[in-house]
Structures are given as C-alpha cells and as structure tokens.
Structure 1
C-alpha cells in the first residue's frame, strides 16, 4: 500500500472510529436519561421547555440530529446564534422538527450541492419559519 493510500485509509478509519465513539456516547446518554424517574424527566423537560417525550426523542437522536437545520440557516444567511438567543423556544421547536424530519437525505444532498436555498420550501418542515427569518434583517449574518 502506497503512502497516500495508507494515509487515506488511516483518515477514513479515524473518522469512522470517531463516529462510532459519538454514536456510543449518544446511546449511553439516551439510556442514562431513559432510566431516570418520570419526575426527573418532567423537570428536565420543563427546564428545556419541551415535552418529556420530545426530550427523550432528542436524546435518542443524538447531538447532531438537527445539524441540517444549522446548515440550512447558514445556506440562507440566517445567523443561527441570534435565533437561538432571541427566539429560544422557536429554535428548540425547529430543532425538534429537524430531528423528526423524513427528508434528511434530500436536505443533505441539496446542502452539499449548494441548491438548498432554492429547494428547501418543497420538503423542509421549518420552511415557513426559515422564510420569516430570512425576511428579518436582524437575523441575517453580517
């Protein structure tokens, strides 16, 4: 195996091991939260301003379950940090919508192809909110 092939193989192996570690960690976290008593889960969900079932679903989905939402905001020139600070409840709702989305594959494809900004309205559950944000100059990236 040549040096470049070896380095590429090593890079792929590292990324795969990193992905496995993240998946393992998310699964362990989901199990840990699922073992909490109902009162504790209700309190955590109240603190996060989401329903207990939604909290468990988000935890099970893992820490990157709504990454497409963040990437879509970037593609639309929306400042994700400003939205999270100025509209935290809406931001959490959008994360949950993204987590539950059945069009993630298309979304990722469109984001990679840099056509998401033109196509998202046809499949994105957050399209209405994203379009509203795009019209608000305070929420656009500088």
Structure 2
C-alpha cells in the first residue's frame, strides 16, 4: 500500500479511535493519558492534528462521542465515507465538534424520529458545514 502525505495522520487517528473502541481491561483511556507527560500528550495531539486540550476533551467524551455525526450525515443524504475520504481534516473537525456537543439527547431523539433534517439547524454545531456539504454533489448519497 502506498502512503500519501495524509495517510500517517489518518492512520494515527484510526489507531486512537480503535484504541478507544476496543477498550482496555484494567485501565481507562483517561488513566493512560494521565500517565503521559505533558510533552507526550502534546506530541500525540500534534500527530492527530489537534490541540492537547482537544485531545483531553475527546478522551473525556469517550469512544462513541461522535457516533451521531455519520447518522446525521446520512439523514441529510450526505455520504460520511465520501466526506472522510475526500475531506479528511474537515471530517475530523466535525467529529471533534460532535464529540463536544451538548445537544446529544435532542440529536439522538430527532434522528430516531426521522425529523433531524428539519431541526438540525437549531442545535447542531456542524449545521453550517453540513449545509455546505449538502450542496456538494460529490459527497451526496446516490439514489
């Protein structure tokens, strides 16, 4: 497999997400991060293309903190895989925004009820970006 310049960052983020998703039997992600020095945390965050503050917030939010984002994208006829492939940094930034959202309960409820498309502008931190993506035919779900 030939790596492109963006692949190392993608690989690092995938490894961290995989690490979170798999979990660890005797320790939590917060414990692991706490065991690192400030310099190591900053280096890890830099490798992921985020700030140390964002990394700490993401670890605190947990491994499923941005699960609503792909569901919201699909509800808006946006293909999450296409966005991730074509716009990796944007996708990551949207994940960070979603992970730190305070409107999760409303979002989940509206997604379940099938009314997220009509209401997401009222509460979604990614609303403007999602609307811009809706105007891009390259990332829409094909009918």
Q: Which of the five TM-score ranges fits, normalised by the shorter chain?
A: 0.7 to 0.9
Aligned to 1:4: none
The 2-side partners of 1:95 and 1:35 are apart by 25
Aligned to 1:45: 45
Measured on the aligned residues, the alpha-carbon RMSD in Å equals 1.9
Q: What SS does the corresponding residue of 2:28 show, helix, strand or coil?
A: helix
Larger CA Rg, structure 1 vs 2: 1
Answer whether contact 1:34 1:56 (CA < 8 A) is retained. no
Quick check: which one's helix share is greater?
A: 1
User: How far apart are 1:34 and its partner, in Å?
Assistant: 2.2
Aligned to 2:133: 133
What are structure 2's unaligned runs of at least 5 residues? 1-20
The 2-side partners of 1:30 and 1:85 are apart by 29
Q: What SS does the corresponding residue of 1:32 show, helix, strand or coil?
A: helix
Any runs of at least 4 consecutive aligned residues in structure 1 with deviations exceeding 3 A, and if so which? Answer: 24-27
Q: Does 1:29 align with 2:29?
A: yes
The 2-side partners of 1:31 and 1:85 are apart by 32
- Post-superposition Cα deviations, 1:76-118, rounded to whole Å, max 9, x if no partner, equal 1111111112212211111111111111111001000000011
Q: Which shows bigger deviation, 102-111 or 29-38? A: 29-38
Q: Would you say how many aligned residue pairs link Structure 1 and Structure 2?
A: 121
Write the mapping of 1:1-142 to structure 2, written as runs, cut at 5 A: 25=24, 28-142=28-142
The 2-side partners of 1:126 and 1:43 are apart by 27
Q: What SS does the corresponding residue of 2:125 show, helix, strand or coil?
A: coil
TM-score w.r.t. the length of structure 1 is 0.79
User: How far apart are 1:25 and its partner, in Å?
Assistant: 4.4
